[in-house]
Amino acid sequence: MNAAQRRLGKALVLSLAHLFHPRMLWLMLWPLLISATLWIGLTIALWTHALVWIVDTLQHWWTHGTFALSWSASGVVLLVAKVILLVALLPLIQLTALLILGVFGMPRIVTHVADRHYTALAQRRGGSFFGGVVNSVKAMLIASVLFVIGLPLLFFPPVWAAVPVIAAAWLNQQVLRYDALALHATADELRTLIASRRWSWYLLGLLMALSAYVPIVGWLAPAYFGLVFAHVALDALQALRTAPIEGEITLETVEVLRIETTSHTTSDTTRVG
């Protein structure tokens, strides 16, 4: 296991411990309750209209995709439409809870983690509340486009689940990486860490997206992965700030040079003697 894997494992374990702190439990519950109430209410109110729209869309795509061949599998289409609605409901609840948490809860999560593990890390506020809102809205729009583009994959049962998962994974990492770094990183540090660790962020976003389909775990996921992103982001920022700059003379370098000089001087003196 390499250093990066050990740090990720540490972040996952510590985040699980933090999750049951009373403050974190509250941050886990209220965004989830608001999101679940919103989407379950909309689903109940618009169930029939949504089914009709999805059935019409699927039949239209099927007709054009098969060169207008006639078919009578309306029952199959209706079943697929219901599956789409139910499959989409879980990630929609989780993603909405994530957006609420990202805007209103992540500063508290990051402060909670920093006060316990990164007390020496200075806050340089390269992000802002407004920047977080803009980032979340932009992420939601792009994820929606990805979901729509991927809808034709729903005709292929082995890969139908990939559509919401891929879109949700992209949205998760896009929102949480910014919110986890905004308080402590400078604008330059924020851009550097986002660009240099792109696949690491996406892996965490993918794990979070998959967790939406695990009973009970999916309800805990927004707050838990908020903590994980905070740990990973602050650890990466600390490593970036403590990494020696190429050509920079550090205290360690001075000490090594002093020892080497003393050693050479002693050797020369011994030879002369």
Q: What pLDDT is stored for residue 233 in this prediction?
A: 95
Instruction: Round to whole Å and give the CA distance between 141 and 152.
Output: 19
Give the pLDDT confidence of 4-31 residue by residue, as tens digits. Answer: 778 888 899 999 989 888 888 888 888 8
Q: What pLDDT is stored for residue 262 in this prediction?
A: 60
Give the length of the chain: 273
Query: Within a 13 Å sphere around the CA of 52, how many CA atoms are in the beta-carbon half?
Result: 4
Q: What pLDDT is stored for residue 177 in this prediction?
A: 93
Average pLDDT of the segment spanning 197-211:
90
- The sign one gets for the Cα dihedral 213, 193, 143, 128 is positive
pTM (2 d.p.): 0.73
Q: Which residues of 253-266 are buried (b: 16+ CB within 10 A; e: fewer)?
A: eeeeeeeeeeeeee
Give the pLDDT confidence of 148-193 residue by residue, as tens digits. Answer: 777 666 666 666 667 778 888 888 899 999 999 999 999 999 999 9
Give the end-to-end CA distance of the chain in Å, rounded to a whole number: 52
According to the per-residue pLDDT averaged within each range, which of 73-77, 114-118, 257-261 is highest?
Answer: 114-118
Q: Of 77-91, 160-174, 190-204, 225-239, which range is least confident? A: 77-91
Average pLDDT of the segment spanning 142-146:
81
Q: What are the start-end ranges of the H helices in 105-211?
A: 106-117, 129-149, 162-181, 187-196, 198-211
Query: Within a 13 Å sphere around the CA of 268, how many CA atoms are in the beta-carbon half?
Result: 6
Instruction: Round to whole Å and give the CA distance between 220 and 80.
Output: 28
SS3 27: helix
Q: What is the mean pLDDT of the chain?
A: 79
> What token pair was written down for 141?
């729009």
Q: What pLDDT is stored for residue 174 in this prediction?
A: 92
The distance from CA 146 to its chain's CA centroid, rounded to whole angstroms, is 16
Question: Which residues have C-beta within 8 Å of that of residue 100, sequence separation ≥ 6?
Answer: 31, 34, 35
Please say if the pLDDT value at position 252 is more than 50.
no
Closest CA to 59 of 77, 83, 84: 77
Instruction: Round to whole Å and give the CA distance between 75 and 174.
Output: 38
> What token pair was written down for 172?
């998760």
Give the pLDDT confidence of 211-225 residue by residue, as tens digits. Answer: 877 877 877 888 899
